[in-house]
Amino acid sequence: MRAGCQNHPEREAVGVCVSCKLLICGECTTRVDGRGLCASCIAADKRTTQLPQQGDARVALSFCVLVALTIMTWGLLEATLPGSAWW
């Protein structure tokens, strides 16, 4: 018995979507982080998981930039000001 792709019943399925567990052919399989996903789950994945992750990364990046700028500003101040007179 041959199992067909959910989108192309005439084609033989080569894998299973890791999210919805439906059989999919090679053309319908998209690799995301080493996992095989069908087209509809890719669309759902983008809406649910990827957008918040990007938001978190942006917040973390902004924080790192802020810390780096603060350190650089302090370094510049200490380099420009005559230390003995001010501190």
Residues making contact with Zn ion (CB under 5 A): 5, 7-8, 17, 19-20, 25, 28, 38, 41
Task: Pick between residue 20 and residue 60 the one whose CB is nearest to Zn ion.
Answer: 20
CB of 44 to Zn ion, least distance (A): 8
CB of 35 to Zn ion, least distance (A): 10
The pair of three-digit structure tokens given for residue 60, joined into one six-digit string: 């973390």
For CA atoms 81, 82, 85, 87, the dihedral sign is positive
Task: Pick between residue 49 and residue 73 the one whose CB is nearest to Zn ion.
Answer: 49
Residues in contact with 35: Cβ distance below 8 Å, sequence separation at least 6, in sequence order: 18
CB of 26 to Zn ion, least distance (A): 8
Residues in contact with 16: Cβ distance below 8 Å, sequence separation at least 6, in sequence order: 22, 23, 24, 36
Task: Pick between residue 1 and residue 85 the one whose CB is nearest to Zn ion.
Answer: 1
Tokens 């380099």 identify what position? 79
